[in-house]
Amino acid sequence: MNKIMIVDDDPELRTTIAEIIEQEGFAVQTAETADQALKLLEKSFFDLVLLDMVMPGTDGVAAIVLITKLSPRTRIVMMTAYASIENAVQALQQGADDYLSKPFKIEALLTTVRKNLQEARFAECAEAVDSDGVFQGLANLLRRRIIILLQQQGNMRFMDLVRALGVEDHTKVNFHLKVLREAGFIEQNEGKTYTLTAAGNKAAACLAYISKSLQTTN
């Protein structure tokens, strides 16, 4: 589940935004100041921070740099009632990923949230695919099918995999399993059962995301 933080000194607006986003199935935490937000980020990762520009103490623009340094993968959407091209440019130059002008409609808020989470997911997948080991693991169709099967089934023995893949050449399956093990995508326990590693689960999620994106594009 994606985690989102709302940072705004207006308690009513903070609560309202939190309720809207929670209804969409996201995990939400709130902070009244940038300093409180930084303390939360030290304890836990957040996929997205909705950050007010004007707050007591550390303002939003100054907080962008601090948040980016503390949690580089966290996307930042600047919120401000003082909408202007200058403010938008300033926020983006400091490292914000997007900009939302107050007052905003619920659909505009949710569209911005979804878009930024999707872009973060795509960036994560693109970064993973740039890795030589990941590319080697995903380049072959049969290896991709193995990863997806293990993601769906949880764990499988060798012959169960062979039957599910519909491949007569057992040596070929064994070869691709070896490649996936060496790339760090799968592991085999003492009972000879294959399972996905953390990297394998990440690869499976990326494959599902890319497949869905291609279907949406087409």
> Mind listing the pLDDT tens digit for each residue in 189-210?
888 899 999 888 888 877 776 6
Is residue 137 located within the same domain as residue 118? no
Helix H or strand E segment including 93? helix 85-94
Is residue 162 located within the same domain as residue 209? yes
Write down the mean pLDDT value for the chain.
Answer: 86
Is residue 139 located within the same domain as residue 117? no
Instruction: Report the sign of the C-alpha dihedral through residues 27, 29, 35, 39, in that order.
Output: negative
Summarize the confidence of residues 102-109 as an average pLDDT. 91
Is residue 85 located within the same domain as residue 142? no
Is residue 149 located within the same domain as residue 193? yes
Helix, strand, or coil (residue 209): helix
User: Phi/psi of residue 18, each to 5°?
Assistant: -60, -45
Is residue 119 located within the same domain as residue 189? no
Is residue 81 located within the same domain as residue 150? no
| Lowest mean pLDDT segment, chosen from 17-26, 108-117, 118-127, 172-181 | 118-127
> Mind listing the pLDDT tens digit for each residue in 25-38?
999 999 999 999 99
Is residue 204 located within the same domain as residue 104? no
Q: Which of 166, 134, 161 is nearest to 146 (CA)?
A: 161
Rounded Cα–Cα distance for residues 209 and 69 (Å)? 28
Is residue 110 located within the same domain as residue 9? yes
**pLDDT on residue 218:** 44
Report how far apart, in Å, the C-alpha atoms of 185 and of each of 6, 90, 130, 176, 196 are: 35, 42, 15, 11, 6
- Do residues 147 and 185 lie in contact, with contact meaning Cβ atoms separated by under 8 Å? yes
- 40 Cβ contact list (under 8 Å, min separation 6): 5, 29, 31, 46
Instruction: Kindly report the pTM of this predicted structure.
Output: 0.65
Is residue 165 located within the same domain as residue 65? no
**pLDDT on residue 93:** 84
Owning domain of residue 175: 132-217
Name the domain count of the chain: 2
Beta pairing, strands 27-31 & 98-101: unpaired
Which of 64, 97, 124 is the endpoint of a domain? 124
Which of 73, 93, 124 is the endpoint of a domain? 124
Is residue 64 located within the same domain as residue 45? yes
**pLDDT on residue 133:** 56
Residue with tokens 């209804």: 23
**What's 199's domain CATH number?**
1.10.10.10
